[in-house]
Each structure stands twice: as C-alpha cells, then as structure tokens.
Structure 1
Amino acid sequence: MKNLRIKNRRKELGLTQLDIAEALNVSKASVSLWEKGDTSPKNMHLLSKVLKCDPDWLVSGKGNPEKNTVTPLNKLQGQYPVLDWVQAGNWSAINELAYHEADHYPCPVKCSDKTFLLKVRGQSMAPIFNEGELIFIDPEVDALNGKYVVARLDDENEATLKQLIIEDGHKFLKAANPQWPTPIQPVNGNCTIVGVVIFAGRLF
C-alpha cells in the first residue's frame, strides 16, 4: 500500500526523491520503494528526520505531522546521565561521583536503568547522527545486525559510534558517512559493544 504521507510531505518541503536519497546515502530507487509502502520502521525513523515530521505520523497517519520537539512528561522514562566518550569506553569502571555529577535527562522511549547519553561528535555518522545531537544508549538491548551501537576498541581508551554489520558470522563497524577515511572496520575480538542507540535528538 502506498504511503502518500511520505510523498506529500516531501513535496511540501520542496524535496525530490534524489534529495532524500543523497541525505540518507541510499539510492533513489529505495526512496521510490518507500513511497510505495515497502519500508521498515528503521527507514521510517530516518525519513522522519529528513522530512522533519513525527515518525509515528509518518507510519500511521495518527497525530500531528509536524515534528514535536517537546515530549509529554507522562511519556518520559526516568533520568539518565550524559557521559563523555572516555567514560563510555570504560563503562564498568565509572565511579558513583562521575555518575551523579553528570547532567541527567529523561528518555522518551522505554529503556533499562543502565541507559546513558552521549553527545554526538564528528562527522563519521552524518547525516543519520549529526554533531551535537544527544543519543540514548541502552546496554541491555541486544546488538543485532544493522543496529547503531556504541563500541570500545581494545587499543583505544574511548568509545565510538558506528553501525553494526553482521554477515556470515563476521562482524563489522560501519560509518554512515561515505566520505569517512575508514568506512568499515572488521571486528576480530578486539571490540566490546557497550550498548545500542535507542533514541536520538537535539535539545532546544
């Protein structure tokens, strides 16, 4: 079934299928398939960022098409700390003082009590994750193929944000930015998955 909301919203913003394809680093044919209804929840979430609309509206047509930047308090879950990338790379050794001194924010989606936040830095994951955005990471979520994860490489003292790719039993960490110098890294027992990204957004 065609998803006319995608096409109509795209036209409202003056965007072409090619504009969306380039923003998300996919083919124009993929965008065409999405408008015909052949897409996944992950793709709809990415589309909602480009189309600047509520992902729930994009999927179901319910609610307001305009992106809601303020999440109702009754939908927020707890308060979770903003860590730096070095702390995230050494999650098991974070002391209580560092945890309690950190800024805390509520999570808009269901998550475990081990959830924490990081502020995106650099351009390796653009345009999916942009510098300055806050990402919520849940160590309790299974790191499955295609998930965006925070990982620690054994020869580095801080964490990194990448997409986890699993093919034929082999694991790789992939950068979203096609211009990144090391677009894909093999994982050969030298990497620990810290947690999975469950939500991303910018504070206003």
Structure 2
Amino acid sequence: MIHSVLEFLTDELNTFIKLKVGDPTTTRIYLSGVTNEAGIAIPDQSLGISLINIEEERVNKDQQNRFVNAVGKVEKRNPEIRLNLYVLITANFQNKNPNNSSDDYVEGLKQLSYAISFFQSKNVFTPENSPGLGSFDPNLQKIVVELYSYSFEQLYNFWSVVGAKYLPSVLYKIKTISIQENAVLEQGEPIEQIFTQSQHKS
C-alpha cells in the first residue's frame, strides 16, 4: 500500500513537470532514499521523493473488530491501521557541470517550485479525478497531500541524521492511508436473540 501511494504520486508529478519543462522523455523525479553509502542517492539534475517518517493516525481511530460477512457469519478482525506518511521532495542540482545551465542551483529551485505548484493545484486524488490510481492499487480510494512546515531545528536535525549537506527541499504529509489485511481471528453465528432468566426467592 505505501509503495503504491508513493509510486503513484511520483508518476503524477513526473508527468506534470515534463509538461512544464517541455521535455516528455526525460525523467524528472525519482522515488528514492535521500542518501546511501556513496552520498546523495537522488540522481543528479533531478528531484527525489523520499519517505522519511510514518505516523499512526489516532484521531477517529476505528475500534470495531467484529463484522458480518457476505454469508451472515460474524468475523473478528483487528481494526484497520490508518497511517500518515511524511514525504520529502528534494532538488539535487549541485552545479556538478558548471557549463550546463540545466544543472545549476536556480534550475533546481525552478523544478522544486513546479512540484509545489502541482500539489497546490491538486492535493486530493481519487479514482474519479485520477483514473490511473486504481492501476497502482485497486484499494486506494483517496489520497490527501498537505504541505507540512517544520522548524529550522528540525531541518538541521534531519540533515545531520542523513549525513548530507542541505539541499533545497519541501516536506509533505500524505494522509490517511488505511491498511487492513482482513485476517480472520474468529468466526461464528450472529447473536439474534438475548434471553434473560430471573429467579425469585420465596
């Protein structure tokens, strides 16, 4: 489920940026970790979309664990887990090729702005407004993307942890992703009548 959400958003954003720059063939954004053993993992002259945190959504958490199935049996299943994903979009344009204007700092800011513009114009994705959503996962019914602001201290701590120098980036919160394996723990007949018995002492 998580990978389907991120692959879908990467594909949608890639299509949008290709239209913006007028180049339909070059991949503009990659689903990638921020760093690896060699340094920055995001390919040069591109954006990276990286999952940096997963949070359980506890507000309005569904505690129901008994359901009636299609044949009228009562099944016990654990409640679904609802998750929020924190995703960083990073521009890796570090002037490695000084004579190439497509590899400069300003170009990176421009393409990062395209990503922000995309989610400003469309931050709710459903099968109705995004027909390709079902091809990534038929269980995905709604994805909501929100810009998430974090402090300079959090920013510093994050880049210190990943062990890299800061690159222009923007953080988004993707909510709410539901995971339900539908593993049946118990099964039985539904309770249709309740009888009470009372005894009187003489």
TM-score (norm. length: structure 1): 0.23
Q: Give the structure with higher Rg (CA).
A: 2
TM (normalized to structure 2)? 0.23
